[in-house]
Homo-oligomer: A and B are copies of this chain.
Amino acid sequence: MSDTTKPAPATRSEGFSLLKLLLEGRAFFALIVIVAVFSYLSPNYFTTSNFLIMASQVAIFGLLAIGMLLVILNGGIDLSVGSILALSGVIGGALMQGVEIDALGVILYPPVWAVVVITLVVGALVGAVNGVLVAYLKVPAFVATLGVMYVARGVALLMTNGLTYNRLAGSPDLGNTGFKWLGSERIAGVPISVLVLAFCAIVAWLVLSRTAFGRWLYASGGNERAAELSGVPVKFVKVTVYTLSGMLSAVAGLVLSSQLTSAGPTAGTTYELTAIAAVVIGGAALTGGRGTVLGTMLGAFVIGFLSAGLVITGVSSYWQTVFTGGVIVLAVLMNSIQTGKGGRKA
């Protein structure tokens, strides 16, 4: 009877295979094409310094995209990342300006590490609100995070009255210098923001591929009911991914305001779309359960390198818009055609 079963397809092998990666990663092709084209068009493109600068620009989107990937793997979507980025930037900014404690009449200047921790906690909490709305109150993810997107943005605007916090550098006598470190320092020539991105990406990769949580995430994204019946704590997984996405947005917010040494409440508008585009270009399915950190990073770099290249070569900003849209569709199209041939699913 064993003759009725089909042989295992030859390409299936868990081991890390570079070839397979290249073949599967249309995002990788897209990236190579982009780099090649722009290097040809502008002598300034293919330089180490430009790549580092571009990478540090990608960092913001990359961080958001990692959080978005987690949510999308879970079968959800998070529209609030841009707003959380703004809100946490503003909160970080407010803390750097000092907290006035009315009862004592003093202004407290928390040290930078405390600012960072508080900001991350706030981001995580807002993310957790998303998670609770989606997991426990069963609000569709699109709606829940859309609502939170508005609310978080509104709160950020209210906090600052629409204005931007400046002077985030801190001052030595208040003991709160160092905020700029995140955004503008370099270690061995690599901007800190790039290192932060790399760190987060590696952690996310480890979590997804080596831990039980990672498998729970893929399982509940693939078939939530089945995962639940197998004892996967699906609600916990859900709340956690939104929380992590919120926290990563806060990290992005900190990096951004550190890069700019200012924090404004309108930062990050429409970044959610860019983050989603990065994840999807990276091969993830919006229906959940499919996608990798590597792909997402490639997706983020495709978008970032493309827009930087368009600016460097002096393409008008309108054409930039057109090209961005075109590349998003093309990159995903390549995939559809590729799998459309092989896969049996409709």
Query: Residues of A with Cβ closer than 8 Å to B?
Result: 79, 133, 137-140, 142-144, 146-155, 157-158, 161-162, 224-225, 270, 273, 276-277, 280, 285-286, 316-326, 328-329, 332-333, 336-337, 340, 346
Bound together, the chains give a CA A277 to CA B143 distance in angstroms of 7
Bound together, the chains give a CA A137 to CA B324 distance in angstroms of 19
Nearest CB in chain B: distance from A158 CB, A: 5
A322 close to B154 (CB less than 8 A): yes
The interface residues of chain B lying within 8 Å CB-to-CB of A323 are 154
Nearest CB in chain B: distance from A156 CB, A: 9
Nearest CB in chain B: distance from A318 CB, A: 4
B133 close to A329 (CB less than 8 A): yes
| CB nearest to A79 among chain B residues | B273
How many copies, total?
2
B154 close to A319 (CB less than 8 A): yes
Bound together, the chains give a CA A153 to CA B273 distance in angstroms of 15
Name 14 extra pairs, CB < 8 A, besides A157-B318, A158-B318. A140-B332, A142-B276, A143-B280, A143-B286, A146-B277, A146-B328, A147-B332, A148-B329, A149-B325, A150-B321, A150-B326, A153-B325, A154-B320, A155-B322
Nearest CB in chain B: distance from A295 CB, A: 14
A140 close to B325 (CB less than 8 A): no
| CB nearest to A287 among chain B residues | B140
A325 close to B286 (CB less than 8 A): no
A329 close to B162 (CB less than 8 A): no
A158-B319 contact given A143-B280, A276-B142, A329-B143, CB 8 Å threshold = yes
B276 close to A140 (CB less than 8 A): no
Among B151, B153, B280, B346, the residue within 8 A (CB) of A224 is B346
Among B150, B319, B329, the residue within 8 A (CB) of A144 is B329
22 intermolecular pairs with C-beta atoms under 8 Å apart? A79-B273, A138-B340, A139-B329, A140-B285, A140-B286, A140-B332, A142-B276, A143-B277, A146-B273, A147-B326, A147-B328, A148-B325, A150-B325, A150-B328, A151-B321, A151-B329, A153-B321, A153-B325, A154-B324, A157-B318, A158-B322, A224-B346
B137 close to A337 (CB less than 8 A): yes
The interface residues of chain B lying within 8 Å CB-to-CB of A285 are 140
Among B139, B154, B324, B328, the residue within 8 A (CB) of A318 is B154
Bound together, the chains give a CA A150 to CA B323 distance in angstroms of 8
Bound together, the chains give a CA A326 to CA B320 distance in angstroms of 35
Interface centre among A151, A225, A316 (most CB of B within 10 A): A151
Nearest CB in chain B: distance from A314 CB, A: 15
A333-B137 contact given A150-B328, A151-B325, A158-B318, CB 8 Å threshold = yes
Bound together, the chains give a CA A340 to CA B135 distance in angstroms of 12
Bound together, the chains give a CA A319 to CA B333 distance in angstroms of 41
Nearest CB in chain B: distance from A38 CB, A: 19
The interface residues of chain B lying within 8 Å CB-to-CB of A328 are 143, 146-147, 150
The interface residues of chain B lying within 8 Å CB-to-CB of A144 are 329, 332
Nearest CB in chain B: distance from A323 CB, A: 8
A150-B322 contact given A139-B333, A280-B142, A333-B137, CB 8 Å threshold = yes
Nearest CB in chain B: distance from A157 CB, A: 4
Bound together, the chains give a CA A142 to CA B287 distance in angstroms of 11
B142 close to A324 (CB less than 8 A): no
